[in-house]
Amino acid sequence: MTHILADLKVFLETAPTSWHAVQEIGNRLAIHNFLPLEEIDKWKLKPGGKYFTIRGGSLCAFSLPKNPPKQALILASHTDSCALKLKPLPSYLKQNMTSFGVEVYGSPLLSSWLNRDLVLAGRVVILNKDQQPEENLVILDDATFIIPQLALHLDREVNEKGVILNKQEHLCPLVSVSSQEKNILEKLLKRQLSFEKLLSFDLFLVPQEPARFIGLNNEMLASYRIDNLVSAHAALAALVYCKKPSLSQLQIALFWDHEEIGSYSVEGAGSSFLQDILQRISYHLRLDVEALTRMKNSSLCLSIDMAHALNPNYIDKHDSQHQPLLNKGIVIKYNANQKYASQAISVAPIVHACHNLNLNYQSFLSRSDLPCGSTIGPIMAANLGIDTIDIGCPQLSMHSTRELIACQDYLDLLHLLSYLVQEGS
């Protein structure tokens, strides 16, 4: 299985933003004979067909069964990560130094962005030579920036009290000490693109360091955007490596944008994207409301996101009975207040599958005196009325620019997802 780990490493390095991720996912789906669909077009779906459609930074891939579907299996992950996003008017000058202003996207571990080589990546809309708006994805890796940290001599208590950062003042990357032009961003973009005018952009700072296998035996993987591209890659691989269509199971892989900021957007898990697709599938497969409702009540959704592994330097941050470890298997996530969607009825089939496959699995919930994060799981469960479970690989340094997993945990996750897809075929 070393080839799949090498492919995961490549995936992490070629998908610095959600838009690059769905582009890469779409390319891989097309190689495996999934047909692209545009939401604006009239669809022609056939039983046994494989398709995908993109909405912004989200993508939905689905494999139709040969017969009218009696159930659905949904593998759901997300494509975005916590980051620093360029402001609409980014350039500003202080003394002889030009910097870019940024906004905080989601809840990144801010200190991890300091003293690190950074480049810009994202999407831009330009006016081309034909005077038409044109969208382009870019990775501007020929200019590197840095967010310099205040020296110890000027912040004597930093090692005792920690780094305290003001989100407006202290996170702006240093761009130049030699150029005071106002259109630095356009100049930078024109190194890669030919255009008449820059109309708009969504650009993020991205760490330049590549993914790397680390540890005594290269048994771990360190990278930016492990949360949640590891889950996305596993769901994608499980879907495309299933060679035969199911007889009666609708198989869906969802890759959602905007999870890190709450999912309520035109393309997030709180949007109409999946409902729209299910309606169109129902129309082409001649499923009435009764049949669709019955199918959903026999279905299972896996919300696949990363889980907090036990950090050996901070053991007291975990509940003593729920301490997921690196290299010890898939994590099932629980929360009494439904921040995670797992319930006994949705957990049981996953535990049963792990037993059949002889796979390790672990349980996680936050300490009762610590707040809990959330995922797309509860949102999808509420919107769809489908039994949902939250699972994922354990990881360290979540929301950092450099996150960490154990490779075996990824292989276990892929094994489980592949089994579930194959069982439905």
Burial of 82 (0-12, 13-18, 19+ CB in 10 A): buried
pLDDT top residue among 368 and 245:
368
Whether pTM > 0.85 for this model: the answer is yes
What domains can you pick out in the chain, each with its CATH number?
2-81+224-423 (3.40.630.10), 83-207 (2.30.250.10)
State the burial class of residue 4 (Cβ atoms within 10 Å of its Cβ: 0-12, 13-18, 19+). Answer: middle
Q: Is the pLDDT of residue 1 over 60?
A: no
Mean pLDDT of 386-402: 98
pLDDT band at residue 320 under the 50/70/90 scheme? very high
Cα(63)–Cα(209) distance, integer angstroms: 36
pLDDT tens-digit series, residues 207-261: 999 999 999 999 999 999 999 999 999 999 999 998 777 899 999 999 999 999 9
Q: What are the residues whose beta carbons fall under 8 Å from the beta carbon of 267, sequence distance 6 or more?
A: 55, 56, 57, 58, 256, 257, 258, 273
Tokens standing for residue 208: 């330049």
Burial of 161 (0-12, 13-18, 19+ CB in 10 A): exposed
For residue 181, pLDDT over 80 is answered with no
